[in-house]
Structures are given as structure tokens and as C-alpha cells.
């Protein structure tokens, strides 16, 4: 398994170390993409790039830094790949890869971009579609995206998945071999496939964000590292696909949610939206989210991420809970459910109606969701809250206890236990 700057202990100190670590996050995916375009071999490309970064750790110094770190790394990685191919190349394909890279090295240029991808451009875009290919298992898509596009170490990704580093390393190896053995193409899907494939990419990014925004287990309700990484990936997509409204909508949605991060937990306790200190909300993120959402809606092709962003934006617009436009939110949830008729959307729509029309209406709408959502703890928390508002403490207690059975997150468990303790007072 290739090493990364985060995996190496003998790192330089000072500005050179910081430059290597920043270059790793910013350049890793682009340089891997350039080599992958030339060789079609994911493992070869990533191994060569990782070796180039390790070389940078021992070569760069505070008084000898390259003017263009990305170009230095591309050249170094290409040479590492040539060395590997010269040692191991067998067969016509390997020989062709070696000749291609050697010609680029002799010319002193990066490998050219394939002509049919010129309109889309950046290697990172082809790379993210490769990492998120539907032939890969969902957990492999998430891990590979974090590794290659996010530039995170295997150790960091293992911590996010709550598995051993060795197990995550094997998972990443299997994913890259699946790409190679299945002949998964390193390219942007054609126009007929782009909409479906883009949806898969956005789902992976949003899954990363959601795990950070509401961790299902562990000691923290919010895992800021995952939230920040998902937003960074979304902004890469915004840069590469500025005219795609759902890309803009997803970025806006995550920015609106993440703007409230610091207000969601206080002294280790979860704070509900209506009780949050809104002065803690990040207004810069909210403003950027509004800008992106406006750009998305101006395209005139509303989609699920734009609708969810519009709902979250209405929450951010309200200076205090009573000013929330719940009527507009119910309408938006109705349109979202029409496009995405799944039980989680139905639950959120019911909760919005409970705020607009009263808890009895919300409970009536939730009644038909029991079979689908019995194993989903937010469903039981939502029901318990409405039952509590109606004064049915016994039924609320039953619902809260069921929610406790379904969550391992310490902060959420404490919140539910505190609600149980207040019943009947």
C-alpha cells in the first residue's frame, strides 16, 4: 500500500512540511488523474504519485522549494511510473504505457488530455466519476473518493469508518483492482448517461457529509472533518461543472447545514433547531449557500438537492424560530416527495406539517410510516416529540425507548434520556 505524507514520520518541519501537506491535498487527485489517463492502471498511478510525495518530503526544504509544486510532483510521479514499468513491464499494453510516458518525459510535458474530454477538462472530474462508478460497492466508492479526491491518508479514512487501518488498506486495494479488472473507463460519461452517473457522484458526496453532520455512533454528534471534506469535494464539482444546478444545489444544501454546526451541540448536549443560538450560525457560509442556490434556481431545472437546499435556506433566513415559514416548507417537502417518494422524505414532510398545522396532523401523517421506518431512530424521536406535545407521556416514553435501542451516538442518547426524564414533570 503506498505511503502518503500523513503516513510518514520523518517529515520536515517548517514551511516545507506545510507546503508538502497542502500540495498533497490540492494536487494528489490531479496528478493521479494525469497518470491514470496515460496508463489506465489505477494502482500504478497512485503508487507512483505517493512515491513522488514521499520524495518531496525528503527533497524540499525551507530554502529550496519548487516554484510550481504541482509540476514538480507530476514530473516526479511520471518518472516513478516509468521506473516501475521498466522493472515490471510485460506484454504489449505495458510496453505501450511505458513508451507513452517515456515520450511525455522526453518532451518535458504532462500527458495530454484525451480529446473527447477537452470540453469537460480537469482530470479530477474524470477521476471522481471513476471513483464513484456504480460497479463498485458504495463503501468502496466513499473510501476511494476520500482517498484520491480528498487526499486523506488510509489511517484517517479507517478512523472515519471505525475499522482497522489494515482492513481499510485492503478495501482500497480491492476497489482499485476492481476498476482495473472490470475495465472501468477513466472518462466522463456520455451525455445519455451523465445525469444518472452524476446523481451517483452527488449521492457519495452527500453520504460523506451526512456521516459527519449526524454521526450514527461514537462520542460526537458532529464530525467536522467529514463535513469539511464533503463541502470541499462539492466545491470542486461546482468549479468543474458550474452549469449543473444539482451540483450547485448540493453545495448550497451542505453549506446551509454546516453553517449551524457550532450551535448544534452545547456542553456535550444536543441542541434542537428551535433552541439554537442563531448568533453562532456562520453567516458567511449561509451567504455563499444563498449565492449558489440562486445560481441553481436560475437554470430552471429544479431537482431534489435544490429543493432540500431551499428548505434549509428558509430555516437559515428565520431570525428566530417563530419566524420560520413553515407553510412554504411544507409545500417544498410536498414537491420533494413527489420527486423522491421515500419514507424519510415523508417523515420530514410530516414533521413540517406538525409545525404548520399542529402535532395531531403530523402524527396522522407519520402513522403510515411505521413499517418502513421502525428501524430508523429519528422516526421514533419525531413521534415521541409530537406525543409529548399532545400530553401523551406514556406513548412518548415508549417511542423514546425505542429510539434509544436504535442509536449508539453518545450525544443523541443523552438527549433522548433527558427527554425521558422530563416526562410527567
Contact of 396 with 202, CB cutoff 8 Å:
no
> Are 300 and 195 members of one domain?
yes
CA 417/CA 113 separation, integer angstroms? 57
CB atoms within 10 A of CB 410: 15
- 366 part of a folded domain: yes
Question: Which position has the grid cell 404548520?
Answer: 356
pLDDT for the residue numbered 188: 77
> Are 302 and 367 members of one domain?
no
Q: In total, how many domains does the chain have?
A: 2
> Are 302 and 373 members of one domain?
no
CA 389/CA 384 separation, integer angstroms? 9
Helix axes 69-88, 91-107, angle to 10 degrees: 150
Contact residues for 3 (Cβ-Cβ < 8 A; gap 6+): 50, 54
> Are 372 and 283 members of one domain?
no
Q: State how far the alpha carbon of 213 is from the alpha carbons of 188, 364, 383, in Å.
A: 30, 29, 22
- 347 part of a folded domain: no
Burial grade of 245 (CB within 10 A; 0-12, 13-18, 19 or more): buried
Kindly give the pairing relationship between strand 265-266 and strand 269-270: antiparallel
- 80 part of a folded domain: no
- Residue 64: strand pairing partners: 61
> Are 300 and 358 members of one domain?
no
pLDDT for the residue numbered 231: 92
Contact of 291 with 235, CB cutoff 8 Å:
no
> Are 367 and 294 members of one domain?
no
- 66 part of a folded domain: no
C-alpha cell at 31: 496528478
Contact of 83 with 105, CB cutoff 8 Å:
no
CA 374/CA 377 separation, integer angstroms? 8
> Are 297 and 379 members of one domain?
no
End residue of a domain, out of 306, 325, 340: 306
- 159 part of a folded domain: no
End residue of a domain, out of 274, 306, 338: 306
Secondary structure class of 160 (helix, strand, coil) = helix
End residue of a domain, out of 306, 337, 366: 306
> Are 302 and 394 members of one domain?
no
CA 35/CA 45 separation, integer angstroms? 5
- From 201, 224, 203, 229, select the one nearest 214 (Cα to Cα): 224
Q: Which long-range contacts (CB under 8 A, 24 or more apart) does 321-326 make?
A: 321/273, 321/274, 324/355, 326/352, 326/355, 326/356
CA 31, 36, 42, 45 torsion: positive or negative? negative
Secondary structure class of 8 (helix, strand, coil) = coil
CB atoms within 10 A of CB 345: 19
Full domain range(s) for residue 394: 353-425
CATH number of the domain at 386, please: 1.25.40
Secondary structure class of 277 (helix, strand, coil) = coil
- 40 part of a folded domain: no
Per-residue pLDDT of the chain (425 residues; tens, 9 = 90+): 455 554 544 444 455 667 777 777 677 777 787 777 777 777 788 888 888 888 888 888 766 777 777 788 888 888 888 887 777 665 555 555 555 555 555 545 444 333 333 433 456 778 888 888 988 988 888 888 888 877 777 887 887 676 888 999 999 989 888 888 888 877 778 877 887 889 889 998 998 888 777 654 444 556 677 788 889 889 989 988 899 999 999 999 999 999 998 898 887 788 889 999 999 999 999 999 999 999 999 999 999 999 999 999 999 999 999 999 999 999 999 999 999 999 999 999 999 999 999 999 999 999 999 999 999 999 999 999 999 999 999 999 999 999 999 988 788 898 899 999 988 66
Contact residues for 149 (Cβ-Cβ < 8 A; gap 6+): 29, 124, 127, 128, 131, 233, 236
> Are 300 and 359 members of one domain?
no
pLDDT for the residue numbered 110: 43
Secondary structure class of 106 (helix, strand, coil) = helix
CA 60/CA 157 separation, integer angstroms? 27
> Are 196 and 258 members of one domain?
yes
Q: DSSP class of residue 4?
A: -
- pTM (2 d.p.): 0.74
What does 234-254 look like in DSSP terms, one character per residue?
Answer: HHHHHHH-TT-HHHHHHHHHH
> Are 289 and 376 members of one domain?
no
> Are 234 and 290 members of one domain?
yes
- 34 part of a folded domain: no
- 183 part of a folded domain: no
CA 70/CA 57 separation, integer angstroms? 14
pLDDT for the residue numbered 307: 98
pLDDT for the residue numbered 15: 59
Amino acid at each position: 500500500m503506498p505511503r502518503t505524507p500523513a503516513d510518514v514520520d520523518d517529515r520536515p518541519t517548517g514551511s516545507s512540511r506545510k507546503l508538502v501537506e497542502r500540495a498533497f491535498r490540492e494536487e494528489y487527485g490531479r496528478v493521479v488523474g494525469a497518470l491514470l489517463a496515460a496508463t489506465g492502471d489505477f494502482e500504478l498511478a497512485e503508487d507512483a504519485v505517493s512515491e513522488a510525495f514521499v520524495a518531496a518530503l525528503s527533497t524540499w526544504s525551507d530554502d529550496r522549494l519548487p516554484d510550481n509544486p504541482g509540476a514538480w510532483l507530476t514530473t516526479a510521479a511520471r518518472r516513478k511510473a516509468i521506473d516501475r514499468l521498466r522493472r515490471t513491464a510485460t506484454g504489449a499494453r505495458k510496453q505501450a504505457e511505458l513508451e507513452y510516458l517515456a515520450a511525455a518525459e522526453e518532451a518535458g510535458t504532462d500527458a495530454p488530455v484525451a480529446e473527447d474530454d477537452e470540453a469537460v477538462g480537469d482530470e479530477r472530474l474524470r477521476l471522481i466519476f471513476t471513483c464513484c462508478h456504480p460497479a463498485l460497492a458504495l463503501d468502496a466508492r466513499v473510501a476511494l473518493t476520500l482517498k484520491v479526491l480528498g487526499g486523506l491518508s488510509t489511517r484517517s479514512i479507517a478512523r472515519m469508518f471505525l475499522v482497522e487501518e489494515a482492513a481499510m488498506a485492503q478495501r482500497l486495494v480491492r476497489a482499485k483492482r476492481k476498476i482495473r479488472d472490470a475495465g472501468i473507463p477513466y472518462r466522463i460519461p456520455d451525455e445519455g448517461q451523465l445525469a444518472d452517473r452524476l446523481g451517483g457522484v452527488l449521492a457519495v458526496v452527500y453520504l460523506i457529509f451526512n456521516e459527519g453532520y449526524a454521526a450514527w455512533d461514537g462520542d460526537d454528534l458532529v464530525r467536522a472533518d467529514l463535513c469539511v471534506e464533503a463541502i470541499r469535494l462539492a466545491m470542486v464539482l461546482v468549479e468543474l461543472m458550474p452549469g449543473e444546478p444539482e451540483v450547485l444545489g448540493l453545495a448550497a444544501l451542505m453549506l446551509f447545514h454546516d453553517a449551524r454546526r457550532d450551535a448544534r451541540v452545547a456542553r456535550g448536549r444536543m441542541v434542537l433547531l428551535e433552541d439554537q443560538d442563531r448568533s453562532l450560525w456562520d453567516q458567511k457560509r449561509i451567504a455563499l449557500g444563498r449565492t449558489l442556490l440562486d445560481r441553481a434556481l436560475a437554470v430552471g431545472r429544479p431537482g431534489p438537492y435544490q429543493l432540500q437546499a431551499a428548505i434549509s435556506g428558509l430555516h437559515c433566513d428565520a431570525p428566530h424560530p417563530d419566524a420560520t415559514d413553515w407553510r412554504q416548507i411544507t409545500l417544498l417537502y410536498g414537491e420533494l416527495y413527489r420527486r423522491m417518494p421515500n419514507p424519510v422524505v415523508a417523515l420530514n414532510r410530516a414533521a413540517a406539517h406538525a409545525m404548520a398545522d399542529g402535532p395531531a396532523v403530523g402524527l396522522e401523517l407519520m402513522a403510515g410510516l411505521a413499517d418502513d421506518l421502525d428501524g430508523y431512530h429519528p422516526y421514533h424521536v419525531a413521534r415521541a416529540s409530537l406525543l409529548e406535545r399532545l400530553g401523551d407521556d406514556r406513548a412518548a416514553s415508549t417511542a423514546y425507548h425505542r429510539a434509544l435501542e436504535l442509536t449508539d451516538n453518545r450525544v443523541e442518547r443523552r438527549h433522548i434520556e433527558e427527554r425521558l426524564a422530563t416526562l410527567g414533570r
